[in-house]
Amino acid sequence: MAEQTYQDAPLHEHRSLWMDVWLAFRNHTGALVGVGVFAFIVLAVLLGPFLHGIDPQYLDIQARNAPVSWTHPLGTDNLGRDMLAQMLAGGRISLAVGFTAMLLSLVLGTGVGVLAGYFKRLDGLLMRSTDLFLALPLLPLLLVIIMLFRDTLRAALGPETGIFLLIVFVIGITSWMQTARIVRGEVLAIKEREFVTAA
């Protein structure tokens, strides 16, 4: 018999999931534009005070409703406050609220989802609680929470810190439900895999 020569198939370079995500992201024009705009906004609000050092709360009555100029690139309002400085200050607050509230939402949603998926006894209770939060009208709920705790937090932590924490708390506790459902589904799927069942 003639000997058969077997050649090893060429080994393909193993790519991680993150590499696949990066390649897909790099080839997506909309994603690149979105990240570019977001990065520009973040850099502008973080570095803006060093480049445009006007106090956003400074009142200049003589410069009320001033048009666009080198001193005031976006003009002033009816009290003479610089519009660009106010926009940069508001952007910093918005970023802080957004990141902190979403972090709280992720922690709550992940915790509820893991508990519901891992412990069958808690699954029904936690998922019905999630459905309850989803069914609640958010706007009236937000107004009630703000009216109940606004003055207390202002007195305890100061006007700025108190309102900041209240807004973060309100956004966080009203936006965790979708995360909880997704995490619960993943935990249930992992529990049914062979290596978990064998253990």
- Measure Cα distances from 159 to 10, 143, 150 in Å: 66, 18, 9
Cα atoms found within 13 Å of the Cα of residue 97, Cβ hemisphere only? 18
Tokens coding 21:
């995500």
Q: Angle formed by the axes of helices 83-118 and 159-173, to 10°? A: 40
What band does 12 get if pLDDT is binned at 50, 70 and 90? Answer: low
Q: Is the pLDDT of residue 33 over 90?
A: yes
Structure tokens at 155: 């007195």
pLDDT at 2 over 60: no
Q: Give pLDDT tens digits for 81-121.
A: 989 989 998 889 899 999 999 999 999 999 999 999 888 88
CB neighbours (10 Å) of residue 113?
Answer: 26
The per-residue pLDDT for range 156-175, each reduced to its tens digit, is 887 788 888 888 888 888 88
Q: C-alpha angle 99/136/189, rounded to 5°?
A: 65
Give the pTM. Answer: 0.73
